[in-house]
Chains A and B, each alone.
Chain A
Amino acid sequence: MINIWEVKETNKMIEQENLDVRTITLGISLLDCIDSDLEQLNKNIYNKITRVAAKLVETGTEIERDYCIPVVNKRISVTPAALIGQAACRTPEDFVTIAKTLDRAAKTVGVNFIGGYSALVSKGMTKGDENLIRSIPKALSVTERVCSSVNVGSTKTGIDMDAVKLMGEIVLQTAEYTKENDSLGCAKLVIFCNAPDDNPFMAGAFHGVTEADAIINVGVSGPGVVKKSLEQVRGENFEVLCETIKKTAFKITRVGQLVAQEASRRMGIPFGIIDLSLAPTPAVGDSVAEILEEIGLEYAGAPGTTAALALLNDQVKKGGIMASSYVGGLSGAFIPVSEDQGMIDAVEAGALTLEKLEAMTCVCSVGLDMIAVPGDLPPSTISGIIADEMAIGMINQKTTAVRLIPVIGKGIGETVEFGGLLGHAPVMPVNKYGCEAFISRGGRIPAPIHSFKN
């Protein structure tokens, strides 16, 4: 039988160390909504989402009450809109109506984000894909809760450099369209290489075409819990360090597994995966950078950071994988800048640069995330940063992503305030030398040699 110390340990994690379930994300397939008539398509989309997700928020709240564990976000991901809209949308403007429908549906069911205003163009773009991509700046500026992502490369297909070039322009346009709000639109736009079909985390969540009609994916978190447990093993060797991370990750993931199973049972929707990520928030003590410091670095970004992050990421996976029957999504440690107070402090102290962050993305679970840069960068520079990150993903057979925020009207050293979970960020310097001729070449970067495994 459970004893009082175990109960106290669990409740301490929840009450003092910010253990929470970061998101229950309901994936909904919209493939059966496709229609060549735009009005009918929008009607189908709205009806399907509001029907399938009717009980989502209520279920999340009930689970919170029954276990006293915060379920911070209830969200929805849908089939990439480029696939759903191609038959009906002739122009980018047509696609914007879909974004508005998604936003309206999200508000009706009470979720705070809906992901899947997306296109998968890792090898090439159809006219429809391109229309969707060109509609992103407008779509993100006229909606509140819609998140967008574009997959521009994979290990199997190489990198679509035409799409990379276009995305550099789109990121800047999105910044421009939302410049009144510190270019907040860019916080809802992710560019991927090897995007997973079952990621529950925003802004990159979408419901892949390989998925069932509806599915529950859960993202767990808990950097604070890992940090606290590492405080107990200061000065111990790497074996002890790794064991401690593993055990803690196991416990955190088990809670996620329970919540996922319960949500699935109560809603009558199959359970998909647990994403066992350490997802920081701006709250004190909920930081991945603080774990790195606890491992022994003065600041995140100091020499040793990449090694420390690599072991953290690996141990989180090793601990988590036994705790859940299905693990997927992004799984690992997130290193967003604006959402992590320790990362912000590291940037402000001059310890962490864009180049070091890029190195860290080789071993973390995702990529360059929530990084504010000056708004006057040329589009080709943004594309160059995207291309570098995509290449890391392609060659290392991992998911990588870019979520840059070029802040219009702000320069290096100034701070942007996004509010809430998105936090705030200092504008970081970018290498000033150009890559225009490289980005303008056009075409594709071929798939790497190790992709040919057939």
Chain B
Amino acid sequence: MLHRRKGAIPYLLLAPGIAWLLVFFVLPMWYLGKMSLSEGLFPTFSFNWAWGNFSEAVSSYQTQFIRSGEYAAIATVIALAVSYPLAYWIAFRGGKWKNLFLLLVISPFFVTYLIRTLAWETILSDDGVVVNTLKWLHILPPDGRLLATSVAVIAGITYNFLPFMVLPLYVSLEQIDHRLIEAAEDLYASAPRAFYRVTLPLSLPGVFAGVLLTFIPAAGDFINAQLLGTPRQYMIGNVIQSEFLAVRDYPTAAALSFVLMAAILVIVLIFAKVLGTERLTVAA
């Protein structure tokens, strides 16, 4: 049931947040949009309706676009697989320690990214326990390594965005009424079936949110590829970074950014349609 009441209430609620976004996001994006249609060499750029920037951007960096999508998708799937049971456990078995566990999940972020990554470089070191074990299990060839490969980059992305996946999942799972599950079991559903027919569907809003919060920033990430990968793993985020800061070709950087944003939005919309989000974003 929705409040169909006309009235200022929704707008009042929205006002402060939306105002913030309009001023500090939309306005800069407007400037950026103008830049994407400009041409020239740093620091003089002139607005020129240069639509060619976009097609050039896409054709030059096709590989990186696709790669980013792949890496982000894989990382999201792995993150989901790892996070769902964890979130479930915290929500259903956490008891009064729930908030503490949530904090534990977030806490790796308190240690700066660079130091965490250095720690991973130590853990995944060519001569470390992990790599040696994998070699012993013949998963890795004798001269193999984990660092400076796409495995390391994807692992890094997954790790980095794990809390983004756990939190929304937890939020959704935590409020499922246990009596619904009990009812299902009373009606002779086995535990797995009860999960599949009751818990899982009710947790879909969380899944949707978690996937969004993970996939979207992951697709634009550059830092994992930079520190854990080689040139062959560079993502579109790395390209944008270098066009912006190193080459200082602002029109190309701007065009690439918009293409990236558009691509992500398209993927998200498709995903939403598949999941039937109409149910998810509107209260039943």
A, B assembled together: no
